């Protein structure tokens, strides 16, 4: 396991290093108009994956179920970003200056309405989306450390997007295999939640079996679940069988990390945890 973690860090460090062009932190704080443009250009396609339940849950009370075009509605809701306050920009600049692992990346940052997307940070294109409440809470040094961890985690997601497939060998060594398609029982599929940082399909094999993992709504909150799968068939498709399994039951086969349901998430988690402890 140690050598795999080391390999993860070395591979990622190599990619991070290739992005380093200057020693001065390069940070672009997008205003709400610029952020709306990014959502329109880089998020529009995956918003079509959202079902009604996901749109309503992620919409934070701003989605109207009488209107059917959830993609347009989510685009409108996601585009309700905030402009940055000078104090927030200063705090983020200070956080990035404080941590060597963050200093040389090129940052494009969006401040999102924290009513939407469960207040989760995530990435679109080459931008990191940070919920407003995370910035408001980041005043103390402890919270700034948590912000730093989040920034590095999200930066790894941007590198994964910019270099598709580069980490596949590593993910294969961890037990993940790409799947052309995974069929989930309809009642669960209706309540599935899209992760913009983990849009491609993978299955995970361990001594307990082969699983697909993901986020599913329970009420209006996302929970992480696994399903056993059969397959693959000749088209490399898998079918989920039986009742969902608590992800914690198989976390022992994923470095003991609870709740990482996609190889990109495992990777980003390992890098930021190793960098910041």
Contacts with Zn ion, residue ranges (CB under 5 A): 197, 265, 268
> Which residue number, 129 or 268, has a Cβ lying nearer to Zn ion?
268
Least Å from the CB of residue 269 to Zn ion: 7
Rounded to a whole number of angstroms, the minimum distance from the CB of residue 50 to Zn ion is: 18
- Least distance between Zn ion and beta carbon 195 (Å): 7
Return the number of the residue (210 or 272) whose C-beta is nearest Zn ion: 272
- Helical axes 263-276 vs 141-162, angle rounded to 10°: 140
Pick between residue 225 and residue 228 the one whose CB is nearest to Zn ion.
Answer: 225
Nearer Cβ to Zn ion (113/265): 265
Phi, psi of 9 (to 5 degrees): -70, -40
- Which two three-digit tokens encode residue 43? 């998020």
Which residue number, 123 or 212, has a Cβ lying nearer to Zn ion?
123
Closest CB to Zn ion among residues 114, 265:
265
Least distance to Zn ion from the beta carbon of 265, Å? 5
CA angle 94, 100, 102 (to 5 degrees): 65
- Integer Cα distance of 224 and 192 in angstroms: 10
Smallest gap from Cβ 86 to Zn ion, in A, equals 28
Work out how close the CB of 160 gets to Zn ion at its nearest, in angstroms, rounded to a whole number: 10
Closer residue to Zn ion (CB): 63 or 247: 247
CB of 229 to Zn ion, least distance (A): 23
Residue 254, number of CB atoms within 10 A of its CB: 23
| Buried b or exposed e, range 144-168, using 16+ CB within 10 angstroms | bbbbbbbbbbbbbbbbbbeeeeebe
CA dist list (Å): 132 to 38, 41, 51, 110: 17, 22, 25, 9
Residue number, 36 or 268, with CB nearest to Zn ion: 268
CA distances from 262 to 23, 118, 247, 258, 259 (A): 32, 18, 11, 12, 9
Q: Shortest Cβ distance from residue 22 to Zn ion (Å)?
A: 26
* Residue/partner pairs of 119-125 with CB below 8 Å, 24 or more apart: 121/150, 121/153, 121/154, 122/154, 122/157, 122/195, 122/196, 122/197, 123/154, 123/157, 123/158, 123/161, 123/196, 123/197, 124/38, 124/39, 124/42, 124/43, 124/196, 125/38, 125/41, 125/42, 125/161
| Structural tokens at position 85 | 């306050």
């Amino acid at each position: 396991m140690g050598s795999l973690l080391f390999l993860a860090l070395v591979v990622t460090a190599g990619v991070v290093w290739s992005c380093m062009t200057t020693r001065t932190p390069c940070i672009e704080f997008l205003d709400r108009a610029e952020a709306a443009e990014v959502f329109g250009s880089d998020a529009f396609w995956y918003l079509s994956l959202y079902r009604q339940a996901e749109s309503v849950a992620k919409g934070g009370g701003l989605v109207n179920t009488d209107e059917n075009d959830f993609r347009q509605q989510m685009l409108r809701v996601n585009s309700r970003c905030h402009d940055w306050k000078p104090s927030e920009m200063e705090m983020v600049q200070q956080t990035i200056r404080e941590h060597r692992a963050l200093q040389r990346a090129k940052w494009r940052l969006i401040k999102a309405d924290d009513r939407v997307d469960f207040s989760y940070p995530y990435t679109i294109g080459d931008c990191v989306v940070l919920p407003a409440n995370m910035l408001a809470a980041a005043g103390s040094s402890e919270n700034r450390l948590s912000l730093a961890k989040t920034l590095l985690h999200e930066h790894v997601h941007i590198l994964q997007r910019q270099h598709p497939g580069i980490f596949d060998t590593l993910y294969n060594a961890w037990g993940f295999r790409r799947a052309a398609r995974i069929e989930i029982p309809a009642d669960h599929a209706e309540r599935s939640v899209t992760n913009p940082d983990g849009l491609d399909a993978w299955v995970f094999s361990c001594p307990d079996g082969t699983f697909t993992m993901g986020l599913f709504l329970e009420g209006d909150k996302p929970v992480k679940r696994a399903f056993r799968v059969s397959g693959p068939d000749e088209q490399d498709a898998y079918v989920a069988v039986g009742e969902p399994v608590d992800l914690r039951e198989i976390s022992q086969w994923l470095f003991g990390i609870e709740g990482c349901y996609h190889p990109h998430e495992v990777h980003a988690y390992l890098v930021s945890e190793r960098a910041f402890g």
